[in-house]
Amino acid sequence: MDAVAGLKLTVGSLTVLAHERLSIVGVVAYLCLQDTGAQPLVNEDGSLALAVNGEIYNHRILRKGLKTKYNFKTHSDCEVIIPLYMEHGLDAPKHLDGMFSWVLYDQKQDRVVAARDPIGITSFYLGRSSSTPGAVYFASELKSLHPVCDNIIAFPPGHIYDSKADTLTRYFEPKWWDPTNVPTVPVDYKVIRHSLEKAVRKRLMAEVPYGVLLSGGLDSSLVASIAQRETLRMQDAARAVSQSQAVSSELVGIDDSNELSTVTTFQQLHSFSIGLPGAPDTEAALEVANFLGTKHHAFTFTIQDGLDALSDVIYHLETYDVTTIRASTPMYLLSRKIKAMGVKMVLSGEGSDEIFGGYLYFHAAPNREEFHKETVRRVKNLHLADCLRANKSTSAWGLEARVPFLDKEFLETAMGVDPKDKMITEGHIEKYALRKAFDTTDEPDVATYLPDKILWRQKEQFSDGVGYSWIDGLKDQAEQQVTDEMMKNPKPEWGNDVPDTKEAYWYRTMFDEHFPPYCAGTVERWTPTWSKQTDPSGRAIATHNDKYKNVE
């Protein structure tokens, strides 16, 4: 894994690939001095050079399926991109199962190719400069580009760039991409369950200590439950094979029988939560951890801790979206604590609410067509919201977040379900289909995944669940920082993107301290659907208040 990649390239008289590596796969080989996995990765004659940030879960299958023998120089899962390009050209990313952003230079053709994973789990930007026409720059972070570029866009997920034509082309075209093509396939709960289990299994590909972010909500709890089952299963398998045999014979990764082969033994699964003292999520997370048997670490933070971190959070997030900042700040504080413990990779539950319509405003969906259209819109925009949060809040501290719900195969399964089976109707709360998939009440031979109290717990947005006074504290501080006069006179350079609350105004001014105005084009602010609410908090929706009116 190369989680902290700085990919920068200029097309023209000079091509430069720069990179910083966080080793998740290929670590043991490095320790054994077999290879380093250092980048750029190059082919045998040095004519192809690759800088990549990502994880390729099916790299073992891809290596085995190559038509032409390729002399791999490393154990890095990402090196397989080079022979894939040699065989498939611009279709190479279609074969990849994972999260990635990469730039490849083909010296023989004087050609640059860049690609981003289907959903945009890893961050990626494309920039140009009016002072150097013809030059194109790529980077994992906005801050790497704005000193030299005055035109920057978020590299669109599921696309590939080709310098020969100087164009971006979408390579990811799943059945669900067109929102007017409303699925009619009835939900199959066991298929959903097995598909998510497989997605989690893939993401346990690691040679370093790992854990799971556990808020106590449905999504993170399911991921933790599956990860714990898989960890225990693999512990049993590891006992049957000596470590020396594993090191000499296996590459880490999923094989074509859907088994995970690894070079390490699996330690007890660690789980992590954070919240203000007495936060709703903290108690729920501890209950889940005790039920599953994970080694749980419950951290707390204060409102002042969060306020003190805000400017740094916005600098690392590279956004001024209110929802993203609210939720990212606790995640940012938690990531620092996790990395200090020596953990390099965590599983997280992003994506489920977009796929299954889990946000409370989905109660207002008028019909199945509109429900499906909104889920498609939300999934397509994840790279500007929750994926951005998960990736940047963690990578700021050299930690990597993996998101099983956004697995390509799982998306095809879950987004292919008739939306009427996802809708929130009488007797069906948010994400009913997902909850029912892991309800084994009628399956006596299947061990319980989660306590009913957790499996059927109503949605709490992370920024609410860490403690209701967190958002209240942010609003109070914004009142002190932004006057009514300031609200009446927004900056001219903001154009039509004018903040509509003092909190949003405050975040935008902090963003402006770090980034020039043209960087705002890479940001998308949360906007409600089927609702007039301007506050993105789940508590702003009547459904939440009806359910939790005695909690606050």
Lowest mean pLDDT among 106-110, 326-330, 369-373, 532-536: 532-536
> Does the pLDDT of residue 7 top 60, yes or no?
no
| 537 marked as binding residue | no
Amino acid at 278: G
Q: Which two tokens stand for residue 518?
A: 């043209």
3-state secondary structure string across 374-441: HHHHHHHCHHHCHHHHHHHHHHCCCCEEECHHHCHHHHHHHCCECHHHCCCCCCCCCCHHHHHHCCCC
Name the CATH superfamily for 208-348+382-406+417-548. Answer: HUPs (3.40.50.620)
Tell me whether strands 98-106 and 111-116 are parallel, antiparallel or unpaired: antiparallel
Average pLDDT of the residues in 520-526: 94
The answer to whether 21 and 39 have CB atoms below 8 angstroms apart is yes
| 213 marked as binding residue | yes
Average pLDDT of the residues in 484-507: 96
| DSSP letter, residue 480 | H
> Does the pLDDT of residue 551 top 60, yes or no?
no
| 521 marked as binding residue | no
| DSSP letter, residue 79 | G
| 348 marked as binding residue | yes
Each residue's pLDDT tens digit, 451-466: 999 999 886 655 456 7
Each residue's pLDDT tens digit, 278-307: 888 899 999 999 999 999 999 999 999 999
Each residue's pLDDT tens digit, 140-180: 999 999 999 999 999 999 999 999 999 999 999 999 999 99
The answer to whether 17 and 105 have CB atoms below 8 angstroms apart is yes
Please tell me the distance from the alpha carbon of residue 120 to that of residue 464, in angstroms, as a whole number: 25
Residue predicted with more confidence, 321 or 539:
321
Q: Name the residue ranges covered by the structural domains of the chain.
A: 27-173, 208-348+382-406+417-548
> Is this model's pTM higher than 0.85 or not?
yes
Please tell me the distance from the alpha carbon of residue 156 to that of residue 116, in angstroms, as a whole number: 7
| 349 marked as binding residue | yes
The answer to whether 430 and 455 have CB atoms below 8 angstroms apart is no
Class of CATH domain 27-173? alpha beta
In degrees, rounded to 5, the angle at the alpha carbon of residue 390 between the alpha carbons of residues 384 and 392 is 80
pLDDT score of 234:
81
Average pLDDT of the residues in 308-317: 98
